[in-house]
A and B are shown apart, each in its own frame.
Chain A
Amino acid sequence: MNRTPDAVVELQGGAVAIGGRPILRQIDLTVRSGEFVTLLGPNGSGKSTLIRALTGLRPLTHGSLALFGTPFASFRAWHRLGYVPQRASAASGVPASVTEVVSSGRLTRRKLLRPAGRADRAAVAAALDLVGLADRARDNVATLSGGQQQRVLIARALAGDPDLFFLDEPTAGVDLPNQHALADALAALARAGSTVVLVTHELGPLAPLVERTVVLRDGRVEYDGAPLDIHDAHGHHHLHPAQTEPDPGFVAPLDRDPHQDGEVST
């Protein structure tokens, strides 16, 4: 395996099949330290599946994945990963304060059965500050707007102080002011030298941050290079809707996640 010296994500010949049906095929993707990469593509093109494969949530059927130069099977440096899953809401069946949700992000750095220390509390406060929600720290997360809840999920990923971020549709269903707040937070990360891999439908205010775009179609990489003109990306989005829509009756029961309130795209 040829290693790129400063590669943080290396996927070679990656394939994912869900229920025997190939979703991703022959994906080669190398992300270097400090890059800001977006994964674009129509619904059902495999964007979310790819990001789930990169985080280990979706096992590869073929190919090899290495994070920070370590094969995924022996990867244990979870504190270096910050993951923002695709979720419509940060709330669950019981009230939870914004601080409690964000504190979950510190678990990668906390020992079992030890209370949170000063460093943990400081990191949570700093993460909330960066997404502009310091004044809502004690509120029930369910009372925040959808966009604010997305910012809470980003703060949770930030709290562990990772250097590689995976974000799955963080701007879906978020109003424009909140998208700008998200973009500001991500810009600060990029300036600090973090690596960002982002799945999105629409770049919006994030567009100026993007250094590299990977376009997927039907489970294959169709384009990998400099950011596309917005109209090009839009063209990819709608060109062959009939061909790229997955059969929902087939995928849904297997790709289903009981804890996810939002829709799951593959």
Chain B
Amino acid sequence: MIELLGYPFMQRALLAAFVTGLAAPVIGTYLVQRRLALLGDGMGHIAVTGVALGLWTGIAPTWTAVAVAIIGAITIEIIRDRGRTSADLALALLFYGGLAGGVMITGLAGQSGATLQRYLFGSITSISLTDIWFTLIISIAIVVVGVGLLPQLFTVAQDPDFAQVAGLRVRAYNLVIAVLAAVTVTVAMRTVGLLLVSALMIVPVAASQQLSRSFRATMAGGVVVGAGAGVGGLLISAYLSDAHALSVAPGPTIVMVALCCFVATWPIGLLQRRRQRLRAPFPETGTVEHEPAGAHPHEHGPGCGHLAVPHQDHVDYVHDGHRHAAHGAHYDEH
């Protein structure tokens, strides 16, 4: 295992997994904020046609994929901006056309399915030195733009009407997000593959937002989970392949590690949200009819173990579906 880390191809793969895991959740946070979690998936499908065009024409598939994904992203953004009710359907047509076209063009190019599969499921261990530079530069650019324009991009996604009246160019910022998502797709293509590209953008954010209370914390948490899953998943797959002579692809392993992070944080988030709901102060109401609780041998007080929630000028104790407030020697239902 240790000597495996000494190989240059493994070091390159680790670096690629780390930086893509770092960059993808930055854009993913904006996509989740816009409730467009599946958009990355669609762009991945469109990029398949780009890869196939590269294989057909002999141009590097990375570049043709970037070009086609950006064209696809701009088309999607125009469809979304028009706001037609059929936008959902138009996007579906675009996505399936991208995938089917890609597979067909690969056939026309006389390439085998195995070549395309490298792009569909990733081939991080075969990444070349040039590819590493491409991945590094693009990832840094994504992080710089995504973090640098955070106040503007956040505002535009949060409330486009407000953003426009604040003088922001809403369409331009929407295009920035779309193009960044397209570029992220092609960068992550080498790491996890086009079919799982969206997972690296979305799953870390989903895991992070279970525990976070702010946008910045969600993005930071997503980046930590993404980079961690990238490196962790690659190491796990390398270990399994090395020690047990299995061929476990790194891409799916990375996504599974990220999903495990979500599975781990989700119950905590659920518990937190439930506690928050229970602790919310009760609304102030007018006079309440006097309704004494039934036989109540227990005496409530600070530290009695029951949930204490402020209500107007007193405290209600919540247990077994009742709200009990002290009233002289007995308890009232509130």
Contacts and interface: CB of A to CB of B under 8 A. Distances in A.
Interface of A: 52, 55-57, 76, 78, 81, 83, 85, 87, 90, 92-97, 99-101, 103-105, 107-108, 110, 112-113, 116, 138-140, 143, 145, 153, 156-157, 160, 166, 175, 177, 253-254, 256-260
Interface string B71-90: 00000000010011100000
Interface residues of B, number: 41
B303 interface: no
Nearest to A84: B162
A23 B138 CA distance: 48
Contacts of A55: 164-165
A195 B164 CA distance: 20
B215 A104 contact: no
Nearest to B151: A107
Given A104-B158, A143-B276, A138 B213 contact: yes
A4 to B, nearest CB: 23
B283 A175 contact: yes
A94 B166 contact: no
17 contacts: A55-B164, A57-B165, A76-B167, A81-B165, A85-B162, A92-B157, A92-B158, A94-B209, A99-B214, A100-B154, A112-B152, A139-B213, A253-B84, A257-B160, A259-B159, A259-B161, A260-B161
A99 B84 CA distance: 34
Contacts of B218: 94-95
Contacts of B209: 94-95
B149 interface: yes
A261 to B, nearest CB: 10
Contacts of A107: 151-152, 155, 163, 166-168
Secondary structure dominating the interface of B: helix
A156 B161 CA distance: 13
Interface of B: 29, 32-35, 37, 80, 83-85, 148-149, 151-152, 154-155, 157-168, 205, 209, 212-218, 276, 280, 283-284
B144 to A, nearest CB: 10
A259 B157 CA distance: 8
Given A92-B33, A94-B29, A156 B215 contact: no
Contacts of B80: 258
